[in-house]
């Protein structure tokens, strides 16, 4: 049986959150990366999606409005569609992966809390794991983009930043749905419809309302504006990137608040031990 070091205990006798964080982070990262379907979708779907969207749109010139400056840029429609296609792919892949991982691990997370694990450690571990996964997937999607379009180095970094912002946003959205909705179908439907409506409405190629102010209320508005401005005019709209990160922070705070409520410690068993203690001890031994 594992025992806690007295130096790791709080004054109330419960384990401190920081010494528990490495184990909680390994659990969270394992849950986020064990989904093979998400990995297959990432490797195969992203380049296939780029190829399909570029073949469908061609290279006609489109007008894209930058709201921060009031300018309307004349941009290559195919390259613009590659940006919106990347945002769309990231919204669904990251959203699916995080949603599935959170739903599968929620019962085990609750048992960990019952067994004495601090919620702060679990919350911090899940936040860092989701951020790492979202950042890695965004980097992959931005690297694959170079096989279809070679923007300037500054433009590519702007696209990467926009991709990272949307990946974080839908990772946080997947976390919120994972702890909130009751079934898989509801979560998948909301991620699919949310990602499609959000990202493709930003592209004026297929949406005549793409340059209208109503789209400022969509999560992908900030990342799309930042990526397009950096890629086509080398303009850095930091406020719009911050807007995208604000959506991610809002979804994350809501999701972590619901996670905190759903993993609160319950009553002890008749033997005076929290339920699931043996499973926690076995998992802790296996992680060493």
How high is the pLDDT of residue 271? 44
The mean pLDDT value for 85-110 works out to 89
Does 267 score more than 80 pLDDT? no
Does 216 score more than 90 pLDDT? no
What is the share, in percent, of the chain residues with pLDDT greater than 90?
Answer: 37
CB 285 within 8 A of CB 144: no
From residue 141, alpha-carbon distances to 10, 50, 127, 138, 158 in Å are 44, 10, 21, 5, 13
How high is the pLDDT of residue 152? 93
**Residues 55-72: pLDDT tens digits?**
888 888 888 888 877 888
How high is the pLDDT of residue 5? 43
Range with the poorest average pLDDT among 17-26, 47-56, 124-133, 183-192: 17-26
Does 281 score more than 60 pLDDT? no
Strand partners, 74: 63
The mean pLDDT value for 194-205 works out to 80
How high is the pLDDT of residue 28? 79
pTM to 2 decimal places: 0.82
How high is the pLDDT of residue 264? 77
How high is the pLDDT of residue 213? 72
The pLDDT confidence band at residue 206, using thresholds 50, 70 and 90, is low
The pLDDT confidence band at residue 209, using thresholds 50, 70 and 90, is low
Cα 121 to Cα 110: distance, rounded to the nearest angstrom: 13
**Residues 143-176: pLDDT tens digits?**
999 999 999 999 999 999 999 999 999 999 999 9
The pLDDT confidence band at residue 10, using thresholds 50, 70 and 90, is very low
How high is the pLDDT of residue 246? 96
């Amino acid at each position: 049986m594992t025992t806690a070091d007295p130096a790791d205990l709080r004054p109330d006798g419960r384990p401190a959150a920081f010494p528990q964080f490495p184990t909680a982070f390994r659990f969270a990262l394992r849950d986020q990366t064990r989904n093979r379907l998400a990995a297959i979708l990432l490797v195969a779907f992203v380049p296939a999606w780029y190829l399909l969207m570029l073949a469908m749109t061609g290279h006609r010139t489109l007008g894209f409005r930058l709201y921060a400056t009031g300018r309307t840029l004349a941009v290559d429609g195919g390259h613009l569609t590659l940006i919106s296609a990347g945002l769309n792919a990231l919204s669904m892949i990251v959203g699916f992966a995080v949603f599935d991982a959170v739903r599968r691990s929620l019962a085990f997370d609750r048992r960990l809390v019952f067994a004495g694990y601090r919620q702060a450690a679990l919350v911090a571990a899940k936040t860092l794991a989701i951020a790492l996964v979202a950042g890695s997937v965004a980097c992959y999607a931005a690297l694959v983009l170079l096989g279809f379009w070679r923007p300037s180095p500054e433009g590519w970094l702007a696209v990467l930043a926009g991709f990272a912002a949307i990946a974080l946003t839908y990772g946080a959205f997947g976390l919120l749905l994972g702890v909130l909705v009751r079934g898989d179908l509801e979560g998948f439907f909301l991620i699919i419809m949310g990602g499609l409506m959000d990202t493709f409405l930003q592209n004026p190629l297929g949406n005549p309302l793409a340059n209208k102010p109503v789209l400022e209320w969509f999560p992908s508005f900030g990342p799309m504006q930042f990526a397009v401005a950096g890629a086509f005019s080398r303009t850095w709209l930091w406020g719009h990137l911050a807007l995208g990160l604000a959506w991610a922070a809002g979804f994350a705070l809501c999701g972590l608040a619901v996670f905190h409520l759903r993993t609160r410690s319950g009553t002890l068993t008749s033997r005076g031990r929290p339920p699931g203690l043996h499973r926690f001890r076995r998992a802790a031994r296996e992680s060493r």
